[in-house]
């Protein structure tokens, strides 16, 4: 007798093959059988007639490093069918780092990961795993190369010494031994933006010649996106390890429809060369990150306090205005999105709360000054702790990336402690399935499920995940495709998705009739 029998559903198994009618038997947290099991018996039988049954969805790019410790964590995720998430992305992992640069690292992480709780042991990746509370879904980690460099050498724009590289290598090796799935890069962020390509390759030597993946937020995602992809292909060639490009896009109207075809062609050529290079995409035209990243990279040297002091200097502001006007050598988000396309979503000072939810053009009018001056003043007053939502991508480009066999789908969800979230936190999977599959037909249901299950599991080597087949973990979603609905919006983002009927994590009922059960069957997944 099985523990659970899901009977009579339409199975989309995560491989990309056509849907088929089948029953699914579950025993001891594992899928025991998939097929016509009309004579099978089980302690619990679920009638899935008229429903679609898929593997639990996997998001390999979230920033819930700190949010995983918050009460109620997992509700937003389970309501869209997520059963496994991966944190530590974009070089910004919550471990490992020691006391020397503790305050600076926490301050830099806070707008992305939220405040790290006091009970979190940041000194080693093993400490992070030990600190995790009981979880309703599975959580894995990447080790952030930005955190490693900041721990070794702070946020200085400086050439690293041999001792710095040795310290980075030790912590990287230790973190991978502790269970990190791979290494993440944030070349658009400090301090990794200070790496030359050669020094970056040197910093990543512990993964050379291995199957350990390197994920990367590239240096540029606007006019320089093609050159940035070329750089990462060169890194993959030099290291001989898998390289995965995070949240691929072409920022800025002038780049829409032009850069992505070039990028996808480069990736296909690299694959044909035998290099393991691929990508992911989130299904929104707006991104979300720290407001600091409207600044050229060299303005980020020295850590948050140094940046704040710089922004208070009116002569620096004049220099900055000229740099932003030129837009040369960096992703000039102020130009790519426009001041009216950058909305501030997390402000901490009570006097700044009226500006939350407004774009920088509107805020400038309210403050009686130009947008850049308003931006600098707010960043200084808020000690850099401001997040933004920036509208800068094209839906047509998103469709092109989605259709590529080299892509999977992620959210890039960030979890600031205060303020508004991006709707992708609560609605990413639902948005993909409702808008891009059901409404636009950009993907078939089978293709979309593959990009949410089997494909991301393959990218990061998640054993036992991403497929409905005997021997795989019993992480399962049951839903009516026509009932899926994203409730989260840009103005009201903290609303759970609708339409998910049943979600199992390790065979246990994590969500039933659209509501989380409170059961914590998730686990920390280690490499």
pLDDT given at position 274: 97
Mean pLDDT of 431-447: 98
Mean pLDDT of 424-438: 98
Q: Any idea which residue has 């390759």 for tokens?
A: 201
Residue 33: C-alpha distances to residues 6, 49, 84, 455, 510 (Å): 11, 18, 22, 22, 21
pLDDT band at 328 (very low <50, low <70, confident <90, very high): confident
Residue-wise pLDDT for 180-191, tens only, equals 999 999 999 999
Residue 209 burial by Cβ neighbours in a 10 Å radius (0-12, 13-18, 19+): exposed
Q: Any idea which residue has 């919550």 for tokens?
A: 94
pLDDT at 329 over 90: no
**What percentage of the chain has pLDDT greater than the value 70?**
100
pLDDT given at position 137: 98
Sign for the CA dihedral angle at 21, 23, 28, 32 comes to negative
Helix (H) / strand (E) element for 140: namely strand 138-141
Q: Any idea which residue has 């950009």 for tokens?
A: 442
Cα–Cα dist 352/47, whole Å: 52
pLDDT given at position 512: 98
Across the chain, what does the average pLDDT equal?
96
Mean pLDDT of 219-238: 98
Least confident of 28-42, 308-322, 498-512: 308-322
Residue-wise pLDDT for 369-382, tens only, equals 999 999 999 999 99
Q: Domains of the chain, with CATH numbers?
A: 2-54+470-515 (2.30.40.10), 57-285+393-459 (3.20.20.140), 290-391 (no CATH)
Residue-wise pLDDT for 14-33, tens only, equals 999 999 999 999 999 999 99
pLDDT at 327 over 90: no
Mean pLDDT of 52-70: 98
Q: Are 205 and 179 spatial neighbours (Cβ–Cβ below 8 Å)?
A: no
Residue-wise pLDDT for 388-398, tens only, equals 999 999 999 99
């Amino acid at each position: 007798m099985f523990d659970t029998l899901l009977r009579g559903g339409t199975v989309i198994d995560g491989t990309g093959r056509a849907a088929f009618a089948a029953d699914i038997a579950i025993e001891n947290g594992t899928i025991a059988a998939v097929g016509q099991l009309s004579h099978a018996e089980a302690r619990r039988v679920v009638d899935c007639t008229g429903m679609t049954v898929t593997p639990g969805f996997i998001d390999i790019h979230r920033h819930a490093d700190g949010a995983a410790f918050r009460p109620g964590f997992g509700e937003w995720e389970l309501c869209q069918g997520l059963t496994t998430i991966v944190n530590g992305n974009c070089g910004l992992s919550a471990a490992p780092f020691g006391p020397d640069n503790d305050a600076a690292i926490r301050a830099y992480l806070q707008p992305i990961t939220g405040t790290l709780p006091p009970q979190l042991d940041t000194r080693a990746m093993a400490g992070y795993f030990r600190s995790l509370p009981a979880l309703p879904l599975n959580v894995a980690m990447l080790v952030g190369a930005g955190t490693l460099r900041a721990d070794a050498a702070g946020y200085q724009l400086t050439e690293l010494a041999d001792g710095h590289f040795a310290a980075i290598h030790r912590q990287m090796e230790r973190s991978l031994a502790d269970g990190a799935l791979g290494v993440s890069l944030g070349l658009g962020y400090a301090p990794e933006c200070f790496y030359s390509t050669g020094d970056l390759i040197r910093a990543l030597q512990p993964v050379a010649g291995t199957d350990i993946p390197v994920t990367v937020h590239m240096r540029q995602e606007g006019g320089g996106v093609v050159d940035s992809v070329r750089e990462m292909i060169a890194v993959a060639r030099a290291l001989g390890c898998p390289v995965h490009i995070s949240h691929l896009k072409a920022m800025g109207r002038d780049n829409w429809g032009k850069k992505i075809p070039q990028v996808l062609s480069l990736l296909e050529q690299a694959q044909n060369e035998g290099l393991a290079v691929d990508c992911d995409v989130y299904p929104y035209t707006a991104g979300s990150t720290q407001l600091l990243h409207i600044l050229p990279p060299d303005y980020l040297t020295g850590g948050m306090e140094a940046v704040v002091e710089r922004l208070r200097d009116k002569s620096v502001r004049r220099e900055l205005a000229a740099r932003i006007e030129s837009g040369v050598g960096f992703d000039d988000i102020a130009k790519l999105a426009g001041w009216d396309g950058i909305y501030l979503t997390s402000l901490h000072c009570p006097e700044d709360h009226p500006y939350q939810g407004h774009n920088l053009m509107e805020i400038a009018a309210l403050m009686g000054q130009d947008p850049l001056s308003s931006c600098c003043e707010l960043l200084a007053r808020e000690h850099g702790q401001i997040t933004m939502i920036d509208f800068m991508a094209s839906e047509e480009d998103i469709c092109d990336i989605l259709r590529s066999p080299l892509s999977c789908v992620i959210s890039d969800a960030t979890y600031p402690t205060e303020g508004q979230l991006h709707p992708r936190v609560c609605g990413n999977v639902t948005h993909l399935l409702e808008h891009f599959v059901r409404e636009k037909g950009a993907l078939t249901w089978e293709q979309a499920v593959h990009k949410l299950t089997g494909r991301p599991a393959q990218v990061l080597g998640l054993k036992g995940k991403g497929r409905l087949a005997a021997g795989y973990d019993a992480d399962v979603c049951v839903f009516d495709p026509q009932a899926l609905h994203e409730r989260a919006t840009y103005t009201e983002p903290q609303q759970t998705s609708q339409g998910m009927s049943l979600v199992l994590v390790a065979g246990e009922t994590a969500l039933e009739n659209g509501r989380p059960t409170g059961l914590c069957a998730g686990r920390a997944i280690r490499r």
